[in-house]
Structure 1
Amino acid sequence: MKHSWMHKVVMGIAVLGILQGCQAAKAPESEKKDTSQTTPSSEQKKVTSDVGATRDVDGVVITLQEAGYTKQRNTVDQDQPKQVVRLQFHIKNTTAEEIGVGSGNFIVYDAENQPLDVYGFDDSFGDVIHTGNELTGPAYFKVNENKPYKVVYMDMDEKIKGEWKIENLKELP
């Protein structure tokens, strides 16, 4: 009986060792994939913006579709900012559970790593996205002069999950 029990323990440790070895062997390949996705080619180095880039954040697939300055202003704020940046997002829920996502999950930082204030607008997006469903909508931020910008997606645990760099923004129609 002891031999059988010991044999199971040794076999279990051996299986764990093999699995650990397989995982370690795959790690460089997965790191290579990540590097190739984030390392721009020589042509892409000219364009440093991540507009159009998609990030898969634990099954929440987020695309920054558009980024630019808008002349739109809300009618609530008496002290209006000189510039407002509008970011258009497309989000798909590929998880097994519904998720809540909105413009409040995104933070925009300037070149000095200071967060920009959210600019409240009536069409800012936010909703519960059921499994397999999608949501598209804009988020607005008050702009200062410290460019370029970094867009960060944070989940409900307030952990950074996705980042996009945006530069050379143009006026949107």
Structure 2
Amino acid sequence: MKKIATLIGTIMVTSIALLGCANLDDTKTSEETKQTTPKKAELKADSKATYGFHDVVDANGLRIEFTKAQLLEADNKKDAILKLSFQLANPTAEKKGFTAINLEVKNKEGESLDVYPGENYGKELETGTTDKGDGYFMVKGSGPYKVTYTDPDHKEVTATWEIAI
């Protein structure tokens, strides 16, 4: 009887020791990966690439995502207005400015749309903040529309999106 109790005790101690030595790093890594994986893929801006809705593009540190486009009727006019909605994030260590008037919007025919004199977004984003806003453009021609962002600090085309309504 004493031998059976000793054998069971040895088996229990060995089992506990083996479980204690198990590699828990795999579980920890999986949990860390889940926490650090962004919800949406963030793309580094490439002036030769064309992006679409919900592509989060890193334009020299400023993250831009176009979320919606819609045609609005102008007050007492037949002309339509293109409203572009976007989300912005500044994960950098310095302020980043963004204004909708830095967007160049072209129609299918390649003609530039004029900025509509409305409440176009324009702000500086503090470090670690996010914001959302809209830009308004007077429609001529048809879509899809190409929206190009030029970083005012670097004076170069940073990213282009193709937006269909």
Taking structure 1 as the reference length, the TM-score comes to 0.61
Q: Which structure has the bigger radius of gyration?
A: 2
Maintained 8 Å contact 1:81/1:142: no
How big is the alpha-carbon RMSD for the aligned residues of Structure 1 and Structure 2? 2.5
Maintained 8 Å contact 1:51/1:67: no
SS of the residue 1:112 aligns to = coil
* In the alignment, structure 1 residue 133 sits paired with structure 2 residue 129: yes
Maintained 8 Å contact 2:108/2:141: no
- Which whole-Å CA distance do the structure 2 matches of 1:62 and 1:147 have between them? 21
Identity of aligned residues (%): 30
Between Structure 1 and Structure 2, the one with more strand by share is 2
Maintained 8 Å contact 1:81/1:143: no
Aligned residue runs from structure 1 range 151-162, under 5 A: 151-156=147-152, 157-162=154-159
Maintained 8 Å contact 2:64/2:87: yes
Maintained 8 Å contact 2:108/2:144: yes
5+ unaligned residues in a row in structure 1: which ranges? 1-32, 40-48
SS of the residue 2:97 aligns to = strand
Deviations 1:86-105 (A, max 9, x none): 00010111222102111112
Equivalent residue, structure 1, for 2:111: 114
- Which whole-Å CA distance do the structure 2 matches of 1:67 and 1:147 have between them? 11
- Which whole-Å CA distance do the structure 1 matches of 2:118 and 2:155 have between them? 23
The alpha carbon displacement at 1:158 in A equals 2.8
5+ unaligned residues in a row in structure 2: which ranges? 1-43
SS of the residue 2:158 aligns to = strand
